[in-house]
Amino acid sequence: MPVPTHVFDPPFNIVRASHVVLDVTDLARSRAFYETTIGLHVEDADSDAVYLRGVEERQHHSLVLRRAHQASCRRMGFRVGTEADLDKAAEHFSKLGLPTTFVSQPYQGRTLHVTDPAGMQLELVAAMERRDILLQKYEHYRGVRPQRFDHFNVFAPEIQSSLDFYATLGFRLTEYAEEDGPNGRIAAGWMHRKGNVHDLAFTNGAGPRLHHFCYWTPTALDIIHLCDVMATTGYLPNMERGPGRHGISNAFFLYVRDPDGHRLELYTSDYQTMDPDHEPLRWSLRDPRRQTLWGSPAPRSWFEEGSAFAGTETRPASFVADVVIAS
């Protein structure tokens, strides 16, 4: 498959992955998990929703938990540069015939809801209410000491078309996994806006579904500390994969599942990618160092389980990737 060409002058400016809105079936239980175990800070809460953020973040929230009868991913949020970018985005998506509408959301400025060509539910904002930074208020450091929201990874049924579409919006490919041979297909791709390895990644699979969302942590030791906390506070079954180091991104990682099964990555130590001549790195789909630099493959749940987008039909993948799965 062809590697998408980077577009340096996209139709509007997406700055970064910003926030995620999750539907959860037990709001109190989910709040306890993210606040007490993971260590996110609750900024506001009521009987229907909880708003949380990391200690480095000045925006009001980066995670919204909504009370619902069924767990799902409600929206993936991205920040754009200006209010004018919101209008440019609305015009651009409308010309493409994609569902687009402005809505009012608590603690956010004007908010644009968009459904992308694959069916993913997006939310674009230029501004949120501001809050005092907690970075040097160390009394707020708990759990894995999450600093900031970093990225999304989604199951995409048509990898190539998703990569090509987001390339037109200025997302830039940094690394990708591809089948070997002259007609090898890309089975996963990592794309960024903010200058690290990714804001948005695509994994071959039935979708669209949210594979995981991620928070950046200060050090690998914070992730190891979280493993100790979860293993001794009743959350051992929620630890799905890791700790370890990815070959792709070089990041030290841990994947956990929240009480509804939503997958969260805790992540540190990737690298910068903002130079305009940065070339994407290719990985063979069969390279054992790709998933984990130390050669440990991911479990089957990693390739099969994810969070559906509310109101979006899940379609089978266009091809079955020959990946290494832990026995």
The predicted-structure confidence for 302-317, as pLDDT tens digits, reads as follows 999 999 999 999 999 9
The secondary element (H helix, E strand) that includes residue 86 is helix 83-95
Task: Provide the number of structural domains found in the chain.
Answer: 2
> What local confidence, expressed as pLDDT, does residue 322 receive?
87
Please give the average per-residue pLDDT across 238-253, as a whole number. Answer: 97
> What local confidence, expressed as pLDDT, does residue 52 receive?
98
Count of beta carbons in the 10 Å neighbourhood of residue 311: 10
Please give the average per-residue pLDDT across 58-69, as a whole number. Answer: 98
Please give the average per-residue pLDDT across 193-218, as a whole number. Answer: 97
Residue labelled with tokens 């007490």: 36
- 8-32 burial, b at 16+ Cβ within 10 Å, e below that, comes to eebebbbebbbbbbbbbeebeebbe
The answer to the question of residue 320 being in a domain is: no
The answer to the question of residue 92 being in a domain is: yes
Residues 124 and 168 in one domain: no
DSSP secondary-structure letter at 33?
Answer: I
How far is the CA of 313 from the CAs of 92, 119, 206, 275, 306, in angstroms? Answer: 24, 8, 10, 38, 13
Residues 115 and 145 in one domain: no
Residues 167 and 279 in one domain: yes
- Contact residues for 108 (Cβ-Cβ < 8 A; gap 6+): 60, 125, 127, 128, 129
The answer to the question of residue 313 being in a domain is: no
What's the chain's average pLDDT?
Answer: 96
Residues 71 and 105 in one domain: yes
Please spell the DSSP secondary structure of 232-267, one letter per residue: TTT-GGGEEEEEEE-STT--EEEEEE-TT--EEEEE
Q: How confident is residue 109, by pLDDT bands cut at 50, 70 and 90?
A: very high
Residues 122 and 249 in one domain: no
> What local confidence, expressed as pLDDT, does residue 326 receive?
84
The answer to the question of residue 6 being in a domain is: no
Please give the average per-residue pLDDT across 154-170, as a whole number. Answer: 97
Q: Which of 129, 160, 184 is the last residue of a domain?
A: 129
Whether 327 has a pLDDT exceeding 90, the answer reads: no
Residues 91 and 153 in one domain: no
Residues 171 and 284 in one domain: yes
Please give the average per-residue pLDDT across 84-90, as a whole number. Answer: 98
Indicate whether this model's pTM tops 0.85: yes
> What local confidence, expressed as pLDDT, does residue 122 receive?
98
How far is the CA of 173 from the CAs of 163, 180, 260, in angstroms? Answer: 8, 19, 31
Please give the average per-residue pLDDT across 79-87, as a whole number. Answer: 98
Residues 89 and 160 in one domain: no
Q: Report CA 13 to chain centroid distance, whole Å.
A: 19
> What local confidence, expressed as pLDDT, does residue 1 receive?
64
Rounded Cα distance between 288 and 286, Å, is 6
Residue labelled with tokens 């805790």: 266
What percent of the chain has a predicted confidence (pLDDT) above 90? 94
The answer to the question of residue 236 being in a domain is: yes
Residues 159 and 117 in one domain: no
CATH, residue 194: 3.10.180.10
Residues 158 and 120 in one domain: no
Whether 94 has a pLDDT exceeding 90, the answer reads: yes
Residues 67 and 153 in one domain: no
- Domain that includes residue 162, residue range: 141-308
- Contact residues for 256 (Cβ-Cβ < 8 A; gap 6+): 38, 226, 230, 235, 238, 239, 240, 263, 264, 266
Nearest Cα to 20, choosing from 149, 128, 181, 179?
149
Q: How many CA atoms lie within 13 A of 291 on its CB side?
A: 20
The answer to whether the peptide bond before residue 208 is cis (omega within 30 degrees of 0) is yes
Residues 83 and 165 in one domain: no
